[in-house]
Structure 1
Amino acid sequence: AALGPRTRMIVVNSPHNPGAVVWTRAEMERLAALLAPTDTLLVSDEVYEHMVFDGAPHVSAASIPELAARAFVVSSFGKTYHVTGWKVGTVAAPAALTAEFRKVHQFNVFTVNTPMQHGLARYMADARPYLELPAFYQRKRDLFRAGLARTPLVALPSQGSYFQVVDYSAVSALPEAEFCQWLTREAGVAAIPLAAFYAGGFEQRLARLCFAKRDETLAAALERLQRLQRLQ
């Protein structure tokens, strides 16, 4: 129902931030079928493409011809190589779409500084850092989820990315933003309210945590979260 004759572009994100959900090939093919009779363009945000767990594949829009023909596929060197502050990424698209994209990009950021590009090019000569990324983050995810199981928080599935969504209903009835402020202030653990990702806000008593941290930092956070009390 949301896809109509006035729809010019849609955005999908897999692995998903904040939900940590990964689209399957069947779901991507269903998207291709829905878009087939339209001229709607697609932005496929795949910046967490190398952080997919439990042996599942990352299915890029570029791997499905019907989507690739209309898609801007977004990737991030910053996410893949732990240098998010560098703000370096790529956009892949058919030539005609790339030409239009460059017109916008030129007046937005213009270009990326040269030293960062050379540094990444040299680092990418070794494929191991990104090939080992799923196992690297899955170990942290499993460590974090095992600790969360000993808290009143309920961990939702985390299929990809380095995020973990938790249901805090057993701890507090506060709205999400207020709960995250309280958690930061009283427990010393920072979280992001999922309602912040919705245009009009959507309260579900869910918060996003991040496990892209050193093991000792995760252990300290879990110790604090395990001291949370359930609602009486």
Structure 2
Amino acid sequence: MNGPGRRPQTTIFTLMSALAQRHGAVNLGQGFPDESGPAHIIEAAATAMREGHNQYPPLAGIPELRHAITTHQRHWYGLAPDPDDGVTVTAGATEALTAAILAFVDPGDEVIALEPSYDSYKAAVTMAGGTLVPVRLDTPEGAEGHWRLDPARLAAAVTDRTKLLLVNSPHNPTGTVLHRDELEAIAALATRRDLLVVTDEVYEHLVFDGREHVPLASLPGMWDRTVTIGSAGKTFSVTGWKIGWATGPAGLIARVKDVKQWLSFASGTPFQYGIAEALASGDGYYRDYIAGYQERRDLMVAGLEAIGFEVHEPEGTYFVTTSVAPFGYGDGMAFCLELPERCGVVAVPNQAFYLDQEARPEVRFAFCKPVDVLEEGLKRLREGLTG
């Protein structure tokens, strides 16, 4: 925690986005789309505003959205959280994650997270008085590899103080999608050691090449010990609406709601109506969504490889991780700080997602931008790095 006179640390996203503005750079760092969501979703929110849905919603979210979330979970995964007691709508996935961690973690408890990990995890665990214990994914062997989970390493990290496993798949920043056998190993460990699990699944629909996203809660023995976190921002390109949710058994969700009431209490009433409409989108929307992002992924991977980056093709999410070692850099942070002025492009160093913050050559680019923006970014990188 920050003592008297200490200032909160600025996130890497704030820092890099400020550099993007200062240098007029193409922002391929922070993961927000440049395009707005589908028109019928925007109109649903606007209609809700015009019809007077502009005051506080219920703590757990409007009934229409809670039922839509339950229907979505049943359709895609065969899960059926109770819309009254097993779903709570939050101010984005970050609030859901924070509320869950504050609900279950006591001072002195340990929380295991896969590393690299999203930077808000450590902040939330620290606020709860706990300790974040990173378990590093195996790094890829060569450009064709992916980050993978070593179940033995995960099991070895569990101690008598471990309270909770924090699992993110599809994984930010690496783009790894955990395979079923990896998830089964996590489930077996959680059951054997009687651990709670919180899963961050905000990229659930963004998986490529026919891969499958398997919610941990759907595996045998996991429903009663898992809180699943989802979000509309990534799937429907409305990150500014900040509509997320937590689902799970009523007893666990009740504890999440107990904390959430002292955070936002509730928010985004008309946006909740818009997301209820969004979740009713047919399967065709999701197919087109994946196909569009797979096209952009392929464009970025091929373009970055042609420039000279060592590229690790992502299995999911809308991020691609590269090594900048071919350009003589062992420190991705140094590379990213120079990049806006040198090339007019912003990226994010992966070392920001590690607890030790040590220099590493990996750098993350976001491809959740229109094709012409990605092409402009690649052109600037090519001219600045090889011209």
What range describes the TM-score normalised by the shorter chain of this pair?
A: over 0.9
Structure 2 CA distance, aligned partners of 1:123 and 1:158? 26
Q: Partners of 1:185 and 1:66 in 2: how far apart? A: 52
For the pair 1:182 / 2:338, whether they are aligned, the reply is: yes
1:80-99 Cα shifts (integer Å, max 9, x gaps): 10011111011111111011
User: TM-score, normalization: structure 1?
Assistant: 0.94
SS of match in other structure, 2:162? coil
Residues 105-160 of structure 1: per-residue CA shift (max 9 Å, x gap): 11111112210011111233322333432212111101111111211111112000
Is 1:156 equivalent to 2:312 in the alignment? yes
Structure 2: tracts of 5 or more residues without a match: 1-155
In structure 2, the residue corresponding to 1:65 is in which secondary structure? coil
1:152 and 1:228 in contact (8 A); partners too: no
Contact 1:151–1:227 (8 Å) recurs in 2: no
Structure 1 residue 38: deviation in Å?
Answer: 1.7
Which range moved further: 120-129 or 92-101?
Answer: 120-129
- 1:75 pairs, out of 200, 205, 230, with 230
State the alpha-carbon separation in 1 of the partners of residues 384 and 176 from structure 2: 27
Q: Structure 1 stretch 4-13 or stretch 65-74: which is displaced more?
A: 65-74
Partner of 1:58: 213
- What is the one-letter code of the residue matched to 1:160? G
1:166 alignment partner in structure 2:
322
Q: CA deviation at 1:174?
A: 5.2
User: How far did residue 36 of structure 1 move?
Assistant: 1.5
> Once the 2 structures are TM-superposed, how far is the Cα of residue 213 of structure 1 from its aligned partner?
0.4
Counterpart CA distance in 2 for 1:219 and 1:81 is 23
1:170-223 Cα deviation digits (max 9, x unpaired):
113252222101112211111111111112213220100000001110001111
**Aligned partner (choices 260, 264, 273) of residue 109 of structure 1:** 264
What is the rounded CA distance, in whole Å, between the counterparts of 2:246 and 2:288 in structure 1? 23
Asked if structure 2 preserves the Cα contact closer than 8 Å seen for 1:176 and 1:204, the reply is yes
Cα deviation code 1:43-79 (max 9, x no counterpart): 1100000000000011111221322221111111111
Q: Who is 1:203 aligned against?
A: 359
- Listed as ranges, the gaps of 5+ residues in structure 1 are none
Pick the structure with more helix per residue: 2
Answer whether contact 2:350 2:362 (CA < 8 A) is retained: yes
The structure 1 segments of at least 4 consecutive aligned residues displaced by more than 4 Å after TM superposition are none
SS at match of 1:166: strand
Which residue of 349, 369, 382 corresponds with 1:213?
Answer: 369
Task: Look up the equivalent residue of 2:191 and give its one-letter code.
Answer: A
Report the 3-state secondary structure (helix = DSSP H, G, I; strand = E; otherwise coil) of the residue aligned with 1:43.
Answer: strand
Number of residue equivalences: 230
Contact 1:195 1:203 in 2 (8 A): yes
